[in-house]
């Protein structure tokens, strides 16, 4: 059966293809070939710039066109060559050599892939594609989502809400501040992600520029290698085996896991607020919430996001644990594993889109928040006993504990009756009676 969205095994390429298809520019087999061609072409041009050979402007332009205009048809040609070579990077080398033949520069063909091993190309191509995906897709999507949280926090900054610790009523808070908790957490982790460098391995068969050095022993190949990798916007690892360490790539994965956990946390909180009726959800005409219960509007966007973030974390955990480990100077386990880095990335993008959609449906039910506050006057006991402590009143905590703990209902009347019975001044009683669950919300940093 021909592969199409309905027959794809993975939902990334099936059910959700329409939302994720742009990611094939970074993570598909076509993308890997494209980035390999970019690296090989840029390296060839770099050698020419360093006067190893002369490269006519016309040939330069044709090579840049080959890299910049790389197509699916070009990738298919490389794939056909790979059937003969049984080596994917060698097939890319032959593709570029053919371009030189076409440009009438066949005498320069042996400078293609000069001194390199395939991992010099792979461990530069993949970090470059990963960098582009992170900078053009992941970080913008995450920053936009965090900005959406910030907008909601601003909108709800003055909305009083009953807090819950251990699931029990606790000192009241502001809904906007509770959203800002997540804004701050996400921003902190974004900064940690950004601080991890995008690194590459570029140093020959086992990292020592053996072939380069034996051919041109007077050249400073370490410096040349650094210059080339930095020209691509990456940092070169100075001491490597045949492959890159992947420690920084693992650090990116771990940072993404932490961010995913924060997003799961807020998804669960919002899901719970919806179940508590703090939020209603906008509906679209014709939509069905439940196949059996017509009244239901399920919080499916937050549930979908939570599920996709969980799948992403499971894959990221394996990637970050496996990739930094390789037997001696290299084994091949990294190769097949690296081909999967786009899968958790896609699930994360899908989750972010789901959260954005879910946030757009939320309608604050402020009456329910006020009702819960009014039904939980016991939470002002903390305020009363703290002021009584300030006044050096004897055993205030114990007095409030006896009033509130285990009682069926503590309402405004019960609290005010307690205050009236205190042996304190009239002005202090007035101060205590001014406290209510809606205004006992403390202060927080400006936002």
Active site residue 10: no
Residue 318 is among the residues annotated as catalytic for this protein: no
* Phi, psi angle pair for 320, to nearest 5°: -75, -25
**10, 231, 290, 425: which one is catalytic?**
290
What is the token pair recorded at 18? 């329409």
Q: How far is CA 388 from CA 33, 330, 436, in A?
A: 73, 70, 16
| Tokens, residue 63 | 């090579």
Residue indicated by tokens 């080959």 = 66
> Cβ(174)–Cβ(156) under 8 Å?
yes
Give the Cα separation of 294 and 72 in Å (integer).
47
**Which residues have a Cβ under 8 Å from the Cβ of 99 and sit 6 or more positions away?**
62, 63, 66
Taking phi first (over 0 means left), then psi (-120 to 50 degrees means alpha), and beta for anything else, what does residue 329 get? alpha
For residue 370, give Cα distances in angstroms to 189, 221, 281, 373: 34, 70, 19, 5
Helix, strand or coil, per DSSP, at residue 166: coil
Task: List Cβ neighbours of 139 (8 Å cut-off, separation of 6 or more).
Answer: 190, 193, 194
Among 18, 166, 291, 427, the active-site one is 166
Distance between CA atoms of residues 13 and 222, nearest Å = 41
Catalytic residues: 166, 290
């Amino acid at each position: 059966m021909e592969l199409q969205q309905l027959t794809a095994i993975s939902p990334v390429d099936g059910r959700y293809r329409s939302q994720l298809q742009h990611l094939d520019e970074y993570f598909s087999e076509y993308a890997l070939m494209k980035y390999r061609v970019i690296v090989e072409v840029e390296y060839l041009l770099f050698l020419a710039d360093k006067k190893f050979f002369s490269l006519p402007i016309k040939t330069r332009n044709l090579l840049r066109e080959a890299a910049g205009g790389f197509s699916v048809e070009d990738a298919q040609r490389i794939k056909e060559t790979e059937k003969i070579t049984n080596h994917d990077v060698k097939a890319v080398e032959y593709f570029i050599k053919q371009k030189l033949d076409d440009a009438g520069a066949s005498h320069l063909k042996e400078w293609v892939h000069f001194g390199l091993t395939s991992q010099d190309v792979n461990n530069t191509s993949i970090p470059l594609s990963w960098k582009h995906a992170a900078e053009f897709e992941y970080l913008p999507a995450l920053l936009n989502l965090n900005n959406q949280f910030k907008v909601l926090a601003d909108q709800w900054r003055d909305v009083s809400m009953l807090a819950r610790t251990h699931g029990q009523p606790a000192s009241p808070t502001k809904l906007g501040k509770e959203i800002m908790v997540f804004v701050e957490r996400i921003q902190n982790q974004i900064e940690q992600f950004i601080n991890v460098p995008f690194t590459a391995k570029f140093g020959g068969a086992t990292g020592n520029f053996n072939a380069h050095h034996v051919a041109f022993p007077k050249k400073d190949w370490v410096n040349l290698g650094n210059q080339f990798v930095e020209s691509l916007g990456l940092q070169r690892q100075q001491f490597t085996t045949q492959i890159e360490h992947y420690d920084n790539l693992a650090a990116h994965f771990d940072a993404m896991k932490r961010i995913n956990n924060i997003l799961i946390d807020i998804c669960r909180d919002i899901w719970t607020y919806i179940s508590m009726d703090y939020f209603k959800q906008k509906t679209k005409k014709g939509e069905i919430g439940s196949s059996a219960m017509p009244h239901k509007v399920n919080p499916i966007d937050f549930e979908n996001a939570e599920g996709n973030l969980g799948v992403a974390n499971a894959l990221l955990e394996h990637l970050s644990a496996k990739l930094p480990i390789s037997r001696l100077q290299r084994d091949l386990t990294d190769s097949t594993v690296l081909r999967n880095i786009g899968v958790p990335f896609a699930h994360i993008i899908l989750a972010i889109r789901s959260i954005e959609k879910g946030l757009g449906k939320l309608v604050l039910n402020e009456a329910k928040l006020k009702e819960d506050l009014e039904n939980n006057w016991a939470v002002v006991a903390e305020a009363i006993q703290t002021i009584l402590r300030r006044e050096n009143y004897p055993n205030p905590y114990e007095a409030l504990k006896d009033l509130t703990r285990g009682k069926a209902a503590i309402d405004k009347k019960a609290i005010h009756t307690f205050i009236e019975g205190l042996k304190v001044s009239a002005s202090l009683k007035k101060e205590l009676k001014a406290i209510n669950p809606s205004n006992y919300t403390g202060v927080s940093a400006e936002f």
